[in-house]
Amino acid sequence: MRYLDTSSLIALYYPEEKTEPLIAHLNQHRLPLVFTWLHELELTNGLQLKLFRKEATAAAIGATLDAVHRDQVDGVLHGAQPTWTTVIETTLRLAEVHTGALGTRTLDLLHIAAALTLQASEFVTGDKRQAIAAANEGLTVVRI
């Protein structure tokens, strides 16, 4: 199972600089894409930020969210609900271990903890600090 951080998930559905290399990697190694409520929350907020920053239109955001929902229904995105108590406990541990040294952010650690809880085989991110923390936790990291 493959876990994409939010920036990678947004790039998968909304064209950005890293969209093409990301899609090339995903096509090269076919693994199921996990999709949690944390993904849905951050994806929705991230797309709305694009609207606020005038980087996207409301129509483009709506079409993007429609595509995500279609992929949920079609099984492209595999719904997974990790035990959030475990995710929070793991996030607290990750914060103690990594934030002082790397400057990791809470949401980045939440994604790492969710990936660990779900036993993801691959973690895809564009964030250097998140990539280091994820790799230090034993996840196979792909940095796009």
Q: Looking at the 3D structure of the chain, how many domains does it have?
A: 1
pLDDT at 143: 95
pLDDT tens per residue across span 30-70? 889 999 999 999 999 999 999 999 999 999 999 999 999 99
Interval 88-105 mean pLDDT:
98
How far is Cα 56 from Cα 4, in angstroms, rounded to an integer? 22
How far is Cα 84 from Cα 77, in angstroms, rounded to an integer? 19
CATH classification at residue 77: 3.40.50.1010
Domain span including residue 72: 2-143
Interval 97-121 mean pLDDT:
97
pTM: 0.92
Cα–chain center distance at 7: 6
How far is Cα 112 from Cα 20, in angstroms, rounded to an integer? 24
> What's the pLDDT band for 29 if we cut at 50, 70, 90?
confident
